[in-house]
Structure 1
């Protein structure tokens, strides 16, 4: 598939269309589809991250802290995880988890408790205030977040299918690149 920018496009062309037009003028033989898809994903990710940061800040915490609370809240029924499980789930460093847990513990939103299954092990446990913040945040994300709440069920399912396909394609490419 080759995407070409229409040089006679309307005045209200999107920024991606303008970028495509500029690159098409410079490299007319290049298929811009992979670049435009990745640029579109990055723009969406930036919008979502901005909204997520705003949501976290409205609760008096940072976005990384909110991610910790959300991970703990969905880890029912204990609402507790080891620091190792947290950093693996969140795909961040153990040091970042430690700093976030320290901040959240100071705020009384989580606590470190002994792990009954691991000698000298520790679990990060969600406290009632942390649970309330996580639940409120998830309700807000589900009902009023970046306009995505306006998608019909069919549109949301279609978007999820496309995202799954993109993830499979990128995972396959990453596996191929490592060999």
Structure 2
């Protein structure tokens, strides 16, 4: 298991803190710092992939939510911003940009003429399907150093950690700065 003996940047930092502050348990850094560094690597890689399709992560999130909804690939603006955990103002800005790009359109809600639905255009469906395929391939590449069993274990542990935060905060407020990809 040569992988277990290799040292990363976090090991170096933790070793320094253990030397300088032996009175302080810095073991959480071994998890949090690695998650933080990985998050930056992942975000950069995801942004590069989506940029090939003329999208950023927040735009992809909207298109992906519409695509996941299934035929006829439309949702109300409220359903969209609730599913993406963003404010209505942030959703309005995203929808205006995606409409200008020809990827979504606003259509009358057949159940309530006073309301509108946001629908994928044929061009939007093509772009999101192509971007999703590249995005998932990229995610496989990003996790290639882990076995399937290691991925399942990591996913289970991260779910447990995330549920603790979500339970604590009850998802009380929209999080504009953290789009949910895919």
Q: Could you say which structure has the larger radius of gyration?
A: 1
Q: 1:152 to 1:140 in 2, by over 3 A?
A: farther
Report what 1:126 is aligned to: 120
Scaled by the length of structure 1, the TM-score of the pair is 0.81
Looking at both structures, which has the greater relative contact order when contacts are Cα pairs under 8 Å and sequence separation is at least 6?
2
Structure 1, residues 7-58: CA drift from partner, whole Å, max 9, x if none? xxx8x63111122122223321222232331221111211121112112211
Scaled by the length of structure 2, the TM-score of the pair is 0.79
CA contact (8 A) 2:77 2:117 kept: yes
Q: Distance in 2 between matches of 1:122 and 1:146?
A: 37
Secondary structure at the counterpart of residue 36 of structure 2? helix
Pair 1:64 & 2:58 matched:
yes
Shift of 1:62: 2.1
Pair 1:31 & 2:34 matched:
no
Pair 1:46 & 2:40 matched:
yes
Secondary structure at the counterpart of residue 120 of structure 1? strand
**Unmatched tracts of structure 1, length 5 or more:** 1-9
CA contact (8 A) 2:42 2:142 kept: no
Q: 1:174 to 1:105 in 2, by over 3 A?
A: closer
Q: Distance in 1 between matches of 2:33 and 2:138?
A: 25
Q: Distance in 1 between matches of 2:117 and 2:137?
A: 31
**Unmatched tracts of structure 2, length 5 or more:** 171-182
| Count of aligned pairs between the two proteins | 165
